[in-house]
């Protein structure tokens, strides 16, 4: 039997990093455990993005620290209500920095740190500490939900740009921005982030809407793992944005199989990131996907991942309108009534 891994080149690059394949473990609590990060490398991940360190974690910790020093108080009741995880200190900022260093020692694959916030402030200095701890790159997750109706879309966009610029001024390692799709002109937003210095764009954050608990009459968080259906939104925008920005595109959301990875590559992504698939099937599923990817490529006579990247982007396909309004009309028309 031919060893496909010897004849097919799965390598790619992302944020200037040379990766052995396009399978990256995206940011999740799984990556808070060094053993898991090592298992991800063993199962074939070409890089990992660590779970996020949140602006609120840093700001509250330092505020509480200030208060503790000046007044000797314990954690405030408000902080406990909004950030219950802080009461048992899962991984505070200092531990997070230490975790980066431990992961760097444990694995050879690149370790991408994740900083999660929305405003410019003192917390940004942790980007430098992450760099100093050895992070190969930084993923800046900007998850901003604007509930103030006086704030315009342009102001929201500027907030993203300002934050990115502030982070870029702090560090020299590559920075990818992870963001959601809900901009009036998503492609233009991508261009703006590109111009502001983003080395990569991780598309997309999932928008976690809260649910109602009707018995308790409370608004409750609601986390459902993804399925391959979520891939389609990402494919659409990766395919549209590909070729228009210098930044490398990462697809995150809805990658559950080797064919999902192929689609991500053809749309124009440099890497396909996985979280839900690994939470559902275990870290070793990375190995299954890598094997199935080789088999698929062998059967379809592809020699390399690079060869397929962008081959079905909007500009490469014969009907670019398929990514626009024409698709909407076609989709609605395609429904067959029973
Ligand atoms: C339990 C859980 C925790 C997550 N934690 C983070 C996080 O800390 N930071 C982050 O940027 N994304 C986080 N994510 C989002 C994932 O990185 C990923 O972008 C998202 O789940 C979509 O990919 P998937 O369809 O492969 O799950 C989390 C996702 C899950 C399911």
Q: Is the CB of 46 under 6 A from ligand 1?
A: no
Three-state secondary structure call for residue 112: strand
Task: Judge whether residue 84 has pLDDT over 50.
Answer: no
* β-strands 137-141, 200-203 pairing: unpaired
Instruction: Kindly give the distance from the C-alpha atom of residue 26 to the centroid of ligand 1, in angstroms, as a whole number.
Output: 7
Residue 289 tokens, joined: 């996907």
Predicted confidence band of residue 175 (pLDDT cuts 50, 70, 90): very high
Q: 252: which strand partners?
A: 273
Helix %, strand %, coil % of the chain (to 5): 45, 15, 35
Q: Max alpha carbon distance in the chain (Å)?
A: 71
Contact 131, 173 (CB under 8 A): yes
Nearest CA to ligand 1 atom 5: 28
- Beta-carbon contacts of residue 96 (< 8 Å; ≥ 6 apart): 50, 53, 113, 126, 130
Q: Is the CB of 202 under 6 A from ligand 1?
A: no
Q: 272: which strand partners?
A: 23, 251
Residue 97 tokens, joined: 């920095």
Q: Is the CB of 253 under 6 A from ligand 1?
A: yes
Per-residue pLDDT at 73: 46
Q: Is the CB of 255 under 6 A from ligand 1?
A: yes
Nearest CA to ligand 1 atom 17: 27
Task: Judge whether residue 17 has pLDDT over 50.
Answer: yes
Q: Which residue has the tokens 């330092």?
A: 62
Predicted confidence band of residue 31 (pLDDT cuts 50, 70, 90): very high
Pocket test for ligand 1, best of 22, 24, 26, 180 (most atoms within 8 A of CB): 26
Predicted confidence band of residue 336 (pLDDT cuts 50, 70, 90): confident
Q: Is the CB of 199 under 6 A from ligand 1?
A: no
Instruction: Kindly give the distance from the C-alpha atom of residue 332 to the centroid of ligand 1, in angstroms, as a whole number.
Output: 31
Residue 102 tokens, joined: 């431990």
Residue 325: alpha-carbon gap to chain centroid: 27
Nearest CA to ligand 1 atom 12: 27
Task: Judge whether residue 238 has pLDDT over 60.
Answer: yes
Instruction: Kindly give the distance from the C-alpha atom of residue 94 to the centroid of ligand 1, in angstroms, as a whole number.
Output: 22
Q: How far apart are CA 28 and CA 203, in angstroms?
A: 16
Q: Is the CB of 254 under 6 A from ligand 1?
A: yes
Q: How far apart are CA 133 and CA 305, in angstroms?
A: 31
Per-residue pLDDT at 226: 94
Contact 51, 28 (CB under 8 A): yes
Could you give phi then psi for residue 144, rounded to 5 degrees?
A: -115, 125
Q: Is the CB of 57 under 6 A from ligand 1?
A: no
Instruction: Kindly give the distance from the C-alpha atom of residue 27 to the centroid of ligand 1, in angstroms, as a whole number.
Output: 5
Of the candidates 236, 242, 294, 289, the residue with the CA atom closest to the CA atom of residue 270 = 242
Q: How far apart are CA 187 and CA 245, in angstroms?
A: 9
Note the residue count of the chain.
338
Of the chain, the percentage scoring pLDDT greater than 70 comes to 91
Instruction: Kindly give the distance from the C-alpha atom of residue 275 to the centroid of ligand 1, in angstroms, as a whole number.
Output: 6
Instruction: Kindly give the distance from the C-alpha atom of residue 154 to the centroid of ligand 1, in angstroms, as a whole number.
Output: 27
Q: Which residue has the tokens 């779970």?
A: 51
Task: Judge whether residue 206 has pLDDT over 80.
Answer: yes
Per-residue pLDDT at 109: 98
Rounded to two decimals, the pTM is 0.92
Q: Which atom of ligand 1 is nearest to the CA of 141?
A: 11
Instruction: Kindly give the distance from the C-alpha atom of residue 215 to the centroid of ligand 1, in angstroms, as a whole number.
Output: 29
């Amino acid at each position: 039997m031919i060893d496909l891994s010897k004849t097919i080149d799965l390598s790619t690059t992302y944020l200037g990093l040379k990766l052995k394949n396009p399978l990256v473990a995206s940011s999740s609590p799984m990556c808070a455990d060094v053993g898991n990060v090592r298992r991800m490398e063993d199962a074939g991940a070409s890089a990992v993005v660590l779970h996020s360190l949140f602006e609120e974690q840093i700001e509250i910790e330092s505020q509480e620290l200030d208060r503790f020093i000046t007044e000797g108080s314990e954690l405030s009741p408000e902080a406990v209500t909004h950030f219950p995880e802080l009461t048992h200190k899962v991984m505070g900022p200092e531990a997070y920095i230490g975790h980066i260093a431990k992961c760097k020692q444990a694995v050879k694959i690149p370790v991408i740190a994740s900083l999660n916030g929305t405003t410019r402030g003192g917390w940004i200095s942790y980007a430098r500490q992450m760099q100093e701890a050895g992070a190969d790159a930084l993923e800046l997750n900007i998850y901003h939900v604007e509930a103030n109706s006086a704030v315009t879309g342009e102001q929201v966009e500027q907030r993203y740009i300002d934050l990115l610029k502030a982070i870029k001024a702090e560090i020299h390692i590559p920075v990818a921005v992870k963001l959601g799709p809900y901009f009036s002109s998503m492609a233009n937003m991508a261009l703006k982030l590109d111009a502001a210095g983003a080395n990569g764009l991780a598309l997309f954050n999932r928008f976690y809407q809260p649910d109602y608990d009707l018995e308790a009459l409370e608004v409750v968080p609601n986390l459902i793992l993804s399925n391959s259906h979520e891939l389609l939104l990402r494919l659409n925008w990766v395919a549209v944005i590909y070729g228009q920005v210098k930044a490398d595109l990462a697809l995150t959301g809805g990658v559950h199989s080797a064919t999902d990875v192929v689609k991500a590559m053809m749309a124009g992504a440099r890497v396909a990131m996985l979280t839900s698939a690994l939470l559902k099937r275990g870290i070793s599923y990375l190995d299954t996907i890598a094997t199935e990817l080789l088999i698929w490529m062998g059967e379809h006579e592809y020699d390399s991942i690079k060869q397929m990247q962008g081959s079905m982007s909007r500009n490469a396909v014969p009907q670019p309108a398929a990514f626009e309004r024409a698709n909407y009309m076609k989709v609605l028309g395609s429904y067959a009534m029973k």
